[in-house]
Amino acid sequence: VLLVLGGLVLAVLLLSGTSPPGHTQEAFTAVAESVNRKLVKVYGSGGFQGIASGGTGVLVSSQGHILTVATQMLDTRDLRVHLWDGRRLKAEVVVIEPELDLALLKIRPPDNLPLEPLEHFDISQAAQQPLAKPGDWVLAISNMFQVATREEPMSVQRGVIAAYGKLPIQRGYTEAPFAGEVYVIDAVTNNPGAAGGALVNRKGQLLGLIGRELRNRQTETWINYAIPVQAAVKVDEDGKDKLVRAVDLVELGVQGKYRPAVVTKRREGKGAYTGIVLVPSPVERTPPYIEDVLPGSPAALAKLRPDDSDRLCRWRAGQHRQSVQRDRPPHRAGHRATARGPARQPHRHRGLADDRAARCAAATRRAAATRYAAARVYPQAIEERHPVHATID
Amino acid sequence: MHTQANGSGRQQRRRLALWLGWLAVLGLAGSMWSAAAQDLPPEVLEAQTKRIQAIERVKPAVVAVFDRGRKGGGSGVLIDERGYALTNYHVVEPTGPFMQCGLPDGVLYDAVLVGIDKVGDVALIKLLPKQPGQKFPTAPLGDSDKVKIGDWAMSMGNPFLLAVDFAPTVTYGLVSGTNRWQFPQGELLEYTDCIQVDMSINPGNSGGPLFNMDGEIIGINGRISPKRGRVNSGAGYAISSNQIKNFLGHLYGGLDMDHASLGATVRSEGEDGEFARMVVQEVLDGTDVARRGLEPEDELVAFAGRPMGSVNQYKNVLGIYPEGWRLPLTYRRNNEKREVLVRLQPLRAQAKEPPAKQGPGPIIGKQPAPPPDPELAKLYKAKKGFANYYFNELERDRVLAALAKHGDFATLTGSWSLAVDVQLKKTKRPGKLELRQRGPDGDPIVLYSLGAGVEYDLEPLKDQSIREKQDPPGSGGLLMAMYVYRRLLTLGAKGFEGGFVYGGFEPAYPVTGDAYPPKHWKDQRVDCDVIKATHIDAVSKFYFDRKDGKLIGLEMSLARDEDPCEVYFSDYRPVNGRQFPHRFEVRRGMDRFAVLTVQQATLGSAQEGN
């Protein structure tokens, strides 16, 4: 009898389950408020040329561990977060996983006194939940356009999961910073400052982290995606398959035990190492000035010199420098981006004098040759020779 | 059935279980079938019906605004059945004083500019009825302070000027944020305390209404966060209805009004610490905050009942009030909280006005506007400081008409004599207040005596020194104030050669009880219509209760940088068939100078002479 009664209860649940709060006019106030308390506003480097100096982070431990997207904003020693109650605290990067395009931060409490336990999302538990399905209603909560500071609540948007799948990684058109499967959302959620925000379902359960701003350069359309909490990417480490998972980043990272994947084999053999060391990239669109040319490298063979007024093309913008170094293949030889160098796109290089534009064109030509030569270099050399603080193209 | 089953044998129980099982299966099948048939649960249908009804109810009030060449435009919403509609300043800035407005019934109306708020990016326009007495459909202004993050809301308007039949486009979504601050463009178009929404807001939506799900206007859409272009970026901003309500009197009055500043520079302290504080850096000379004793290093706690803990809060709270308003400010000095009333300073010292261009923006027409017909041209009067002086005259006459209902004093140009009990700070004594008329056309002398040789007199046109005119000392000019009071009652607009204009809405704070100062100034607040009038060197503001049009107070100022004399009128009783106040509360700054209680009032008419 109990079993059967259970069946009845189930039937009733199913019936009532067809009228979720979102479809009625019930407001999302309570959900937005509870999620907002588990998010932080992150402030780092940037803040000029339209580059966001702020982002959003998700609290994943009671002691102040924060999961966010590994944007250029984290390239600073002066990282700050604002909690929902207006507290402004220092934070530091614990570990970055370029394969997931995610970073784990930790709040540095004032005077090193332990913080009062903070409200947070349980990533381990969230990762065990089934994936949201296309058509499901979601809420995106983030500090987009950095419109809120201190205790001001973040922005909440409503959307629908449009798709679940991999982002197109088509160099020159759309450069997806994450190779795994993502939620694609039908609302304009991925705005400046939104990266690292929470994608939740109607009940406020965490589904994923809002990704970067991503634009298809051919169609000038924007793709709004979120990295799911179940994110997992298979990589090749020392000839063995390794599954890089967001949940491990958090679980091990909180204990200080997470080791980012060391990818030893380049994917697809699309690109290669050139030997050009670029100046460190504090912001997303730092022009790729050459800081050094590795002796004996293809770049050196191509007689490329370190010269801080020479610019290469700008197509590698948009990735954290570690991503660039570890994973992203350099540009392919003869790619048409070389023909669209700075000289022909003056609007993208405001403030650049004409003679500089001409020199850029020259640098572009040299770079084209370099890249061609670079296509044959074995990339492992990069890992060995260069510490993480240099950006290599 | 349950009880029966429990009381019976095993077989019965098994049979019941079978039945229940069948029921469950049927229930499941039923729910699947109904879902397949798109037969939604009643809550969903109810919500949908409610939404559709709200849209149907308010849709007729949504306006498509065009320039007269109909090459560009924006949106608006009717809030008054006489044809008054709200829109953005940046929508009417390119159209000039005349525009054309389409309503969802497909009819195109001529319209004229009424009032503008350039900083707040709001404008009021008036549609002209096709027949006299025609009533326009309207939507009510809601309470935007009740709007919460996560609430549903809908925007209506004419994005991309799509609708050739003027039927509005509806977009539906969530309130993403409240109390947002969006930087100004130069000195204008500062969006303070605005509502952020996630529904599509595009060019052409500007000036259109943001509705809550009850169909109340909670904001006027006017801005988006730009994302490589001026189209929807997932963040639209609407000017809150409560901010608009503060300026509504100014808008109806055809004014080109200004927003406010505190009169002190403020810095955010402790930005490096956990919590920030707003601290006074410098107090500007001659401002009301300076006279109220605000000093550098004082911490601002609250303004107009709202906290001032951050730069954004400070800007948001200040940004929603017009210049000249008086509001309570709480500050902390040496751990002691103090509350004072502060008059706000103008925000723009010298108006430099860059062209208003911003997203989502109006779509600006390139054709010059054809000249309006003469009938329409009558509704526009240009005057410095006004968007349209014609409407100021209308509002001024409305206030005067309401005043006349409480009694016609025009013939009472004889001597006035008031026997009063004067409650001073510590003592109470009998006194006399007189406006003594000399000859039928002359100006009265004002006399005030408190017995025991304490006497003051004033000949307003003769006496030159400001000090004399501010008699009795400490009042700021009670005699002069009584003189302008009588001029208002007997002469109306004619009595003020230096100007007599409607000044919009403003709060006043009469204290009718004996206890002074009150615990919280906000409890004393009365929302008023204001008339600003100048006679010789006396600059006055008259406050009329918006509920009944009764004159409840005046402020008379003789020197710009000094506190005015305030007189609050209450305890109205009939004198010669006219309503006349029997209690005069006289204040200056935060001090109560005296309360005069009228024991006997004699208001002489012209025939009686002196």
Tokens of B56: 């149907």
Q: What is the CA radius of gyration of chain B?
A: 30
Burial A287-324 (b: 16+ CB within 10 A, else e): bbbbbbbbeebbbbebebeeeeebbbbbbbbbbbbbbb
Do the Cβ atoms of A155 and B152 come within 8 Å? Answer: no
Search chain B and give the residue with CA nearest A147.
Answer: B180
Per-residue model confidence (pLDDT) at position B1 = 32
* Nearest residue to B541 via CA among B572, B512, B504, B516: B504
Per-residue model confidence (pLDDT) at position A279 = 58
- pLDDT confidence bin for B262, thresholds 50/70/90: very high
Lowest mean pLDDT across A306-315, A319-328, B458-467: A319-328
B-chain residues within 8 Å CB-CB of A150?
A: 276, 309-310, 312
Q: What is the residue-averaged pLDDT of chain B? A: 87
Please confirm, yes or no, whether B206 is among the known catalytic residues: yes
Do the Cβ atoms of B180 and A149 come within 8 Å? Answer: no
Closest Cβ–Cβ partner in A150, A155, A215 for B177: A155
Closest Cα of chain A to B235: distance in Å?
8
Tokens of A118: 């903070």
Give helix A2-17 / helix B10-36 axis angle, nearest 10°: 20
Which is catalytic among the residues B67, B110, B117, B121?
Answer: B121
Question: B interface mutation test: which of A87, A188, A191 has the most B CBs within 10 A?
Answer: A188
Per-residue model confidence (pLDDT) at position A48 = 57
pLDDT digits (tens, 9 = 90+) for B11-33: 555 555 555 555 555 555 444 44
Q: For the residues A235-255, what does the mean pLDDT come to?
A: 91
Question: A interface mutation test: which of B4, B6, B149 has the most A CBs within 10 A?
Answer: B149
- pLDDT confidence bin for A287, thresholds 50/70/90: low
Closest Cβ–Cβ partner in B50, B234, B273 for A157: B234
Do the Cβ atoms of B227 and A191 come within 8 Å? Answer: yes
Per-residue model confidence (pLDDT) at position A141 = 98
Do the Cβ atoms of A15 and B27 come within 8 Å? Answer: yes
Lowest mean pLDDT across A57-71, B28-42, B178-192, B463-477: B28-42
Task: Kindly tell me if the per-residue pLDDT of A9 is higher than 80.
Answer: no
Per-residue model confidence (pLDDT) at position B465 = 82
Q: For the residues A217-239, what does the mean pLDDT come to?
A: 87
B-chain residues within 8 Å CB-CB of A157?
A: 173-174, 176, 198, 234
Which is catalytic among the residues B75, B90, B415, B535?
Answer: B90
Cβ neighbours, 10 Å, residue A358: 12
Q: Indicate the residue type of A321.
A: R
Please confirm, yes or no, whether B90 is among the known catalytic residues: yes
User: Distance (Å, rounded) from C-alpha A370 to C-alpha A363?
Assistant: 10
Task: Kindly tell me if the per-residue pLDDT of B468 is higher than 50.
Answer: yes
Closest Cα of chain B to A309: distance in Å?
28
Strand-pairing partners, residue B63, are B76
Strand-pairing partners, residue A88, are A82
Q: For the residues A358-374, what does the mean pLDDT come to?
A: 48
Closest Cβ–Cβ partner in A23, A25, A87 for B274: A87
pLDDT digits (tens, 9 = 90+) for B519-562: 999 999 999 999 999 998 899 999 999 999 999 999 999 988 89
Per-residue model confidence (pLDDT) at position A189 = 96
Do the Cβ atoms of B152 and A27 come within 8 Å? Answer: yes
Q: Is the dihedral of CA A17, A20, A24, A26 positive or negative?
A: positive
Per-residue model confidence (pLDDT) at position B19 = 57
B-chain residues within 8 Å CB-CB of A191?
A: 225, 227, 233-235
User: Please, how many CA atoms are within 13 Å of residue B231, restricted to the half-sphere of its CB?
Assistant: 7
> Where is pLDDT greater, at B440 or B140?
B140
Do the Cβ atoms of B20 and A5 come within 8 Å? Answer: yes
B-chain residues within 8 Å CB-CB of A89?
A: 274
Number of residue pairs across A and B with CB atoms under 8 Å?
155
Lowest mean pLDDT across A297-306, B67-76, B549-558: A297-306
Do the Cβ atoms of B196 and A147 come within 8 Å? Answer: yes
Burial B29-53 (b: 16+ CB within 10 A, else e): eebeeeeeeeebbebbeebeeebee
Per-residue model confidence (pLDDT) at position B473 = 87
Please confirm, yes or no, whether B406 is among the known catalytic residues: no
Q: For the residues B251-262, what does the mean pLDDT come to?
A: 94
> Where is pLDDT greater, at A311 or B475?
B475
pLDDT digits (tens, 9 = 90+) for A77-126: 889 999 999 888 999 999 999 899 999 999 998 887 888 999 999 999 99
Strand-pairing partners, residue A93, are A105
Q: For the residues A358-362, what does the mean pLDDT come to?
A: 56
Check whether the bond before B354 is cis (ω within 30° of 0).
no
Per-residue model confidence (pLDDT) at position B69 = 81
> How do B108-117 and B256-257 pair as beta strands?
parallel
Lowest mean pLDDT across A14-23, B60-69, B197-206, B502-511: A14-23
Per-residue model confidence (pLDDT) at position B443 = 82
A-chain residues within 8 Å CB-CB of B27?
A: 8, 11-12, 15
Q: Indicate the residue type of B231.
A: V
Lowest mean pLDDT across A50-54, B317-321, B376-380: A50-54
Q: What is the largest CA-CA distance in chain A?
A: 88
CB contact set of A262 (below 8 Å; sequence gap of 6+):
A237, A238, A326, A383
Closest Cβ–Cβ partner in B47, B50, B235 for A155: B235
Do the Cβ atoms of B27 and A25 come within 8 Å? Answer: no
Per-residue model confidence (pLDDT) at position B561 = 86
Query: Percentage of residues in chain B with pLDDT exceeding 90?
Result: 63
Lowest mean pLDDT across A36-40, A339-343, B307-311: A339-343
Task: Kindly tell me if the per-residue pLDDT of A20 is higher than 50.
Answer: no
Per-residue model confidence (pLDDT) at position B464 = 73
Do the Cβ atoms of B31 and A4 come within 8 Å? Answer: no
Phi, psi for B485 (deg, rounded to 5): -60, -50
Which class for B550: exposed (0-12), middle (13-18), buried (19 or more C-beta within 10 A)?
Answer: buried
Task: Kindly tell me if the per-residue pLDDT of A16 is higher than 60.
Answer: no
Task: Kindly tell me if the per-residue pLDDT of A231 is higher than 70.
Answer: yes
B-chain residues within 8 Å CB-CB of A187?
A: 198, 234
Looking at the whole model, is its pTM more than 0.90? no
Lowest mean pLDDT across A325-339, B91-105, B229-243: A325-339
CB contact set of B293 (below 8 Å; sequence gap of 6+):
B340
Per-residue model confidence (pLDDT) at position B422 = 92
> Where is pLDDT greater, at A192 or A12?
A192
Task: Kindly tell me if the per-residue pLDDT of B141 is higher than 90.
Answer: yes
Q: What is the residue-averaged pLDDT of chain A? A: 71
- B529 neighbors B547 (Cβ within 8 angstroms): no
pLDDT digits (tens, 9 = 90+) for B184-212: 877 788 889 999 999 999 999 999 999 99
Q: Indicate the residue type of B249.
A: G
Query: Percentage of residues in chain A with pLDDT exceeding 90?
Result: 41
Q: ipTM of the assembly?
A: 0.81
Task: Kindly tell me if the per-residue pLDDT of A334 is higher than 90.
Answer: no
Closest Cβ–Cβ partner in B31, B198, B228 for A11: B31
Task: Kindly tell me if the per-residue pLDDT of B486 is higher than 70.
Answer: yes
CB contact set of B583 (below 8 Å; sequence gap of 6+):
B512, B569, B570, B571, B595, B596, B597, B598
Per-residue model confidence (pLDDT) at position B140 = 97
> Where is pLDDT greater, at A337 or A118?
A118
Closest Cα of chain A to B224: distance in Å?
11
> Where is pLDDT greater, at B325 or A12?
B325
Do the Cβ atoms of B151 and A29 come within 8 Å? Answer: yes
Q: Name the DSSP letter for residue B32.
A: H
pLDDT digits (tens, 9 = 90+) for B145-179: 999 999 999 999 999 988 889 999 999 999 999 99
Task: Kindly tell me if the per-residue pLDDT of A21 is higher than 50.
Answer: no
Per-residue model confidence (pLDDT) at position B608 = 54
Do the Cβ atoms of B24 and A156 come within 8 Å? Answer: no
Tokens 């500043």 belong to: B261
> Where is pLDDT greater, at A299 or B344?
B344
Do the Cβ atoms of B176 and A157 come within 8 Å? Answer: yes
Task: Kindly tell me if the per-residue pLDDT of A22 is higher than 50.
Answer: no
Distances (CA, A) of A262 to A213, A320, A326, B330: 26, 16, 8, 59
Closest Cβ–Cβ partner in B174, B227, B310 for A157: B174
Which is catalytic among the residues B75, B155, B200, B206?
Answer: B206
Per-residue model confidence (pLDDT) at position B442 = 75
Per-residue model confidence (pLDDT) at position B39 = 74
- pLDDT confidence bin for A291, thresholds 50/70/90: low
Per-residue model confidence (pLDDT) at position A354 = 47
- pLDDT confidence bin for B498, thresholds 50/70/90: very high
* Nearest residue to B339 via CA among B297, B267, B289: B289
User: Distance (Å, rounded) from C-alpha B294 to C-alpha B343?
Assistant: 13
Phi, psi for A140 (deg, rounded to 5): -115, 125
Closest Cα of chain B to A12: distance in Å?
8
Do the Cβ atoms of A11 and B17 come within 8 Å? Answer: no
Per-residue model confidence (pLDDT) at position A90 = 92
Tokens 């030159």 belong to: B464
Q: For the residues A4-28, what does the mean pLDDT come to?
A: 46
Per-residue model confidence (pLDDT) at position A29 = 93
- pLDDT confidence bin for B437, thresholds 50/70/90: confident
Q: For the residues B116-136, what does the mean pLDDT come to?
A: 95
